[in-house]
A and B are shown apart, each in its own frame.
Chain A
Amino acid sequence: MGNRKQLVEDVVHGIFLILGIITVGFVLLISVYLLIAGVPAIGKIGVIDFLFGTTWAPTGEVPSYGILPFILTSIYGTAGAILLGVPVGFFTSVYLAKIAPTKVKAMVENAVSLLAGIPSVVYGLVGMLVLVPLVRNAFHLPDGASLFAAIIVLAVMVLPSIIKVSLTALEAVPKDYEDASLALGATPVETYFKVSVPAAKSGIAAAVVLGVGRAIGEAMAVIMVSGNVANMPGLFESVRFLTTAVCSEMSYAVDGSLHQQALFSVALVLFLFVMLINAALNFFLKREKK
């Protein structure tokens, strides 16, 4: 009887182990498949031509596969979104963590959760019908679909992540720090910004990382407001991101063609970008902790 019990125990242990390993398996699966699908085209096109070429014209008479426009657009777009979103999110989270009355805080927190839950196509729809004409009229442009419009949309989309994570970090600052600062004569506001915030630095940095990840990976909302032409990025130019490049051409790239393989390579570059950013920022965070 003891043996049977042990057997059941072992089997169950095995099952759970397998389930755990499957998670690792999925990551390997994704990485391996992307590599298999994405590397051949880079090989055929040449790493330098691919990553640094400035013309993307896969269906032209002389096809060219330079993705520098996409890389730069994704970088500028993400940077812009962070530049706009982080300050707004940061100040909102300090307000929520330290000053807001309980009822207000609960209400705003709910509002932020809601913002986080809205599907990206809805953002895209509103962006397309409200933001794009607004940009066109406000800046006297011939057409509002641009990098600028995309940056605004992305900034709004990363706001909830930044607020939520910064909030958690700020709330975790030990009260003693703040009490000590107040005892030394600092006003509450000064305490928050000169003591609490630095103490919550790593959490806030984590919030920014999250925001970067969300911004660089967004496709649907952006494709509806950015114009979709493979130009080198300009603030009011029609642009294409790494994400939207894959999205818009995948459905008609001829199966097995260099065009399709190049799209896989774009996805691979995107994937590597995200990994790189995560690794770099995590590295800096760990250094900070020490």
Chain B
Amino acid sequence: MKKRKLILPLLATVALSAAVLAGCSGGAAEETVEGTVTTDGSTSMEKVIGGLGEAFEEENPGVTFTYNPTGSGSGITAVTEGRCDIGLSSRDLKDEELAQGLTETVLAKDGIAIVVNPENKVEDLTVEQIADIFTGKITNWKEVGGDDAEIVLIGREAGSGTRDGFESITGTEEACQYRQELTSTGDVITTVAGNPAAIGYASLASVQDSVKAVTVGGVAPTEETIADGSYAVQRPFILVTKEGEQLSDAAQAFFDYATSEAANEIITSAGVVPAAN
């Protein structure tokens, strides 16, 4: 939202450059593609993919871009079965998935913010404290410097890439004692915003003013700390494709666009760190 001011000039630049390139190349103008591009998967990637898709559609009016927010696990399945062109995953692919003939291309790096209600006094937590909180060893906020209130654990459903990333980094796989298991990143934010004693995890890109992201081991989640890895809780945004299979013209064009530097501004404005740096 704060990066909105960059969008209009950005779009103007992109459109202008496209026009200039088209004009410059004379006869061999930059051909726009036509067709459909279907993507399916991670809900955390919505802003990024939505923005990229929209910009791509504006440059190529003959293209219909669809994004189906079903969760990382489902997106990987969808691309394996050929139900979509590009799968979207907010976690690394597992060995079994790679073995099924899938290729992962890192689009961006996303921080997983540990969010608490703005009324919560706690500002910083170590990875161990976070793990203890989510596994139920620490049950009251006063144990970590907050008010005397029972901690309410908000998490994601079992197929979520965000949950997978969070649990593997904090080492809490299968040990988390969630009070609520929600089906999207936005839902976690809403729920934590509505409960002073709640704590949850969500894609940094989706964090709004309604919640507060704590610093992890003293490190705040920002573009720089994610890019250089000092913010520990992060995971990749991945474009998943089938090994050896040729994408349709439209899908390939989108793929190339998304992984190129031209897309970086959109990716950054969505709050994540582009891989193509």
Interface positions of A (Cβ within 8 A of B): 57-61, 132-133, 136, 142-143, 145, 227-229, 238, 248-249, 251-255
Contacts and interface: CB of A to CB of B under 8 A. Distances in A.
B142 to A, nearest CB: 14
B73 A252 contact: yes
Interface residues of B, number: 28
B180 A60 contact: no
A57 B178 CA distance: 13
A251 B74 contact: yes
Interface in B30-58: none
B174 interface: yes
Contacts of B135: none
Given A229-B180, A252-B73, A143 B157 contact: no
Contacts of A254: 73-74, 77
Given A143-B179, A251-B70, A252-B71, A61 B195 contact: no
A143 B159 contact: no
Contacts, number: 68
Nearest to B177: A229
Contact of B180 (A61, A133, A227, A249): A227
Given A133-B194, A143-B152, A249 B179 contact: no
A197 to B, nearest CB: 42
Given A143-B152, A143-B195, A249-B159, A255 B77 contact: yes
Interface in B151-190: 151-152, 157-160, 173-174, 178-183
Contacts of B151: 142
Contact of A227 (B71, B72, B179, B183): B179
Nearest to B157: A248
A255 B197 CA distance: 37
Interface in B180-216: 180-183, 191, 194-195, 197-198
A228 B182 CA distance: 7
26 contacts: A132-B194, A133-B194, A136-B195, A142-B150, A142-B151, A142-B152, A142-B179, A142-B195, A142-B197, A143-B180, A227-B179, A227-B181, A228-B180, A229-B180, A238-B180, A248-B157, A248-B181, A249-B159, A251-B183, A252-B70, A252-B71, A252-B160, A253-B74, A253-B159, A254-B74, A254-B77
Nearest to A62: B174
Nearest to A144: B195
Contacts of B10: none
B136 to A, nearest CB: 13
A252 B180 contact: no
Contacts of A143: 152, 179-180, 195, 197-198
Given A59-B158, A252-B159, A145 B73 contact: no
Nearest to A237: B179
Contacts of B77: 254-255
Nearest to B160: A252
B74 to A, nearest CB: 4
B103 to A, nearest CB: 19
A59 B180 CA distance: 17
B207 to A, nearest CB: 20
B158 A249 contact: yes
Nearest to B76: A254
Nearest to B149: A142
B68 to A, nearest CB: 9
B122 to A, nearest CB: 16
